[in-house]
Amino acid sequence: MYIPFVKYKKVFYGISIALVLLSIASMIVFGLKPGIEFSGGSALELTFEEQVPDFDEIRGALQEIDLGEISLQKTGTNSIILKMKFIDEETHQDVLLAIKGVGEVQQGSEGFQVIGPVIGEELKRKTKIVVILALICILIYIAFSFRKISRPVNSWVYGLSGLIALCHDVLIPLGVFAVLGKFYGVEITIPIITAFLTVFGYSINDSVVVFDRVRENLLKDTGTDFNGIVEKSLNQTLTRSINTSFTTLLALFAIFFLGGETLRYFSFALILGIGLGTYSSLFLATPLLTTFLWLKDKRRSR
């Protein structure tokens, strides 16, 4: 099977642009819901002797205590995590007493964590730095790796195409998490940030594999036009990209369905990112090389 990737690249661009715009709109309208790691607050983990009480019952028992916005999340059959604003030890004991009024808590099962607003802001700042440094390093690495290929597009174009695809692979999952945060209370936590950083590496690796095949074919097929070389390279690496992603996604779906609540959204972020990374490496990053060449030729002809 031979797919004319370059011929239909505008269709693929249109799909990607539409999804990215929808994701940006959802982030603007709904916003991302940060976990207490970034916003600061308190987290109380409890395991009940029997079934977890209804969340409305728990909220009703806590309504007399000033806890700010409360977030409840099941972490197992009989376990929950209760997240709230920063509270002192006296309020912590009041919360425990109120919850024990609606359900029997296992002795010694309690876990209590407090993250101050200063630590939360520090983690948020460091996360931004890590993401920016990762993107810069990726751009430099690709430009350096393809430094000997200066025709018909410069080596930095490969890096720029990879970064555009990478932004596509992260923005769309972020838009999905904005919707989930609004309607299901899903928070952006450290494990989810870790998942996105993993997507950075996986997505760019997928693109580099195709770029490398383009480089090989450029050296061998000197008489073929660039669009033909790009399309040939994509078809040569198509099976490899799909098989690699499929086997990875199998493991991630197993974690999503069997790994418990604590790993559910971590694996979900990876599923979205890796699935989109496979799509973008084939239908976005590499076809972009031909678009940059077209822009270069158009600029020269003026």
Residue 201 lies in a domain: yes
**Angstrom distance (rounded) from CA 15 to CA 273:** 16
- End residue of a domain, out of 91, 115, 139: 115
Whole-model pTM?
0.85
Strand 79-84 vs strand 41-47: parallel, antiparallel, or unpaired?
antiparallel
The pLDDT value given to residue 231: 93
What residue numbers bound the domain in which 48 lies? 41-115
CATH of the domain at 86: 3.30.70.3400
Of the pLDDT bands very low, low, confident and very high (cuts 50, 70, 90), residue 36 is: confident
Does position 109 have pLDDT exceeding 80, yes or no?
Answer: no
Spatial contact of 76 and 155, defined as CB atoms under 8 Å apart: no
Give me the mean pLDDT over the 168-173 stretch.
94
Burial 57-84 (b: 16+ CB within 10 A, else e): ebeebbeeeebeebbbbebeebbbbbbb
The pLDDT value given to residue 187: 87
Q: Are residues 240 and 124 in the same domain?
A: yes
Structure tokens at 278: 């496979």
Backbone angles phi, psi at 71, to 5 degrees: -120, 125
Of the pLDDT bands very low, low, confident and very high (cuts 50, 70, 90), residue 28 is: very high
Residue 31 lies in a domain: no
How many independent structural domains does the chain possess?
2
Residue from 237, 249, 238 nearest 276 by CA: 249
The pLDDT value given to residue 150: 63
Measured CA to CA in angstroms, residue 298 lies from 80, 153, 169, 225, 293 at distances of 60, 13, 29, 16, 8
Q: Are residues 55 and 200 in the same domain?
A: no
Of the pLDDT bands very low, low, confident and very high (cuts 50, 70, 90), residue 119 is: low
Residue 262 lies in a domain: yes
Residue 9 lies in a domain: no
Q: Are residues 45 and 145 in the same domain?
A: no
Measured CA to CA in angstroms, residue 153 lies from 86, 121, 140, 150 at distances of 54, 42, 16, 6
Spatial contact of 51 and 106, defined as CB atoms under 8 Å apart: no
The pLDDT value given to residue 185: 83
Q: Which of 114-123, 190-199, 207-216 has the lowest mean pLDDT?
A: 114-123
**Angstrom distance (rounded) from CA 55 to CA 47:** 14
Does position 234 have pLDDT exceeding 80, yes or no?
Answer: yes
Residue 202 lies in a domain: yes
The pLDDT value given to residue 52: 86
Return the DSSP state at 80.
E
CATH of the domain at 290: 1.20.1640.10
Does position 302 have pLDDT exceeding 90, yes or no?
Answer: no
Q: Are residues 88 and 124 in the same domain?
A: no
Structure tokens at 61: 């028992």
Q: Are residues 167 and 155 in the same domain?
A: yes
* 23 vs 139, residue with greater confidence: 23
Q: Are residues 111 and 202 in the same domain?
A: no
Q: Are residues 83 and 60 in the same domain?
A: yes
- End residue of a domain, out of 115, 142, 176: 115
Q: What percent of the chain has pLDDT over 90?
A: 36
- End residue of a domain, out of 99, 115, 131: 115
Q: Are residues 64 and 139 in the same domain?
A: no
Of the pLDDT bands very low, low, confident and very high (cuts 50, 70, 90), residue 146 is: confident
Return the DSSP state at 107.
T
Does position 118 have pLDDT exceeding 70, yes or no?
Answer: no
Residue 230 lies in a domain: yes
Measured CA to CA in angstroms, residue 76 lies from 45, 95, 278 at distances of 11, 21, 32
Task: Rank 33-37, 103-107, 115-119, 231-235 by mean pLDDT and report only the highest.
Answer: 231-235
Q: Are residues 60 and 82 in the same domain?
A: yes
Q: Are residues 133 and 222 in the same domain?
A: yes
Q: Are residues 45 and 131 in the same domain?
A: no
Average pLDDT, the chain: 87
3-state helix, strand, coil in the chain (%, to 5): 70, 10, 20
How many residues appear in the chain?
A: 302
Q: Are residues 54 and 203 in the same domain?
A: no
